Structure 1
């Protein structure tokens, strides 16, 4: 089956590119949620570490860096800050003593629980003009875009 060609070099415009629009949407969402985190003494990257740990998306700094494409030195500072505040702790892995895992403390779990309504409120504001079906379709399409982009990245690595 021939792959569809949705863009042509002769008519390509950045402002109508899916990549541009996804990045603009991400920037707008970050700009909308950062002030809410600041009111609670946090930033987005700190939230990402906490929620990734809560949801099991990541077990260690390496996983977070890989998943979020974040600089390991900068992430170490974020983890240090969260650890100093008593929200996470580092523990040696039981399976590999060379590996350090990150875990939410009881305070960290309580903090995440208190911040989830803030995140949900901001997401609902951003999606207020969408129907449930549209949000479901947007989620499906974004997952499809992610899978296609990951496939493209894998093909590039193999070449």
Structure 2
């Protein structure tokens, strides 16, 4: 593959990822979800894992620590996330959803599923399988 071809495909991948996030953020705002896409990703991962350290959560949501700290601070102020002292490490915290956070996730999950489905319209099972294969190959190529 030439550099020009690679560059075009990389641009398409980046452009599509940005468009998906922008579309979702517009829908979150339009529907008054009270959270951003990034905040939702944090809440969703906490709902799926119950208790996580900030380092574990950062790896799951692909955010650096300062960015994740700002997101967590906002979610704590909204009453959706709680910090508790790590039992073995005084410098570390466990993160978990509050009861309000659990309710918010349950409320938003079906609505967000509908938003995500928009991007997948007009694609069949074969398309999904090929797309998954390609994305996993790209991801695995970059594993160290």
Is the contact made by 1:36 and 1:118 (CA closer than 8 Å) also made in structure 2? no
| C-alpha distance in 2 between matches for 1:137 and 1:58 | 34
Cross-structure match for 1:90 = 83
Q: TM-score, normalised by structure 1?
A: 0.76
Structure-2 separation of matches of 1:79 and 1:107: 15
Query: Counterparts in 2 of 1:103-114, with a 5 A limit?
Result: 103-114=96-107
Contact 1:82 1:88 (8 Å CA) reproduced: yes
Measured on the aligned residues, the alpha-carbon RMSD in Å equals 2.3
CA distance in 1, matches of 2:6, 2:48: 38
Is this contact kept in 2: 1:58–1:64, CA < 8 A?
A: no
Is this contact kept in 1: 2:51–2:96, CA < 8 A?
no
Task: Considering Cα pairs closer than 8 Å and 6+ residues apart, tell me whether 1 or 2 has the greater RCO.
Answer: 2
What is the number of equivalent residue pairs in this alignment?
142
Unpaired stretches in structure 2, ≥5 consecutive residues: none
Determine the structure 2 residue equivalent to 1:33.
24
TM-score (ref. length: structure 2): 0.83
Higher Cα radius of gyration = 1
**How far does residue 118 in structure 1 lie from its aligned partner after superposition?**
1.9
Q: What secondary structure is seen at the aligned counterpart in 2 of 1:79?
A: helix
Q: Any unmatched runs of 5+ in structure 1?
A: 1-6, 155-159
Query: Is structure 2 residue 93 aligned with structure 1 residue 100?
Result: yes
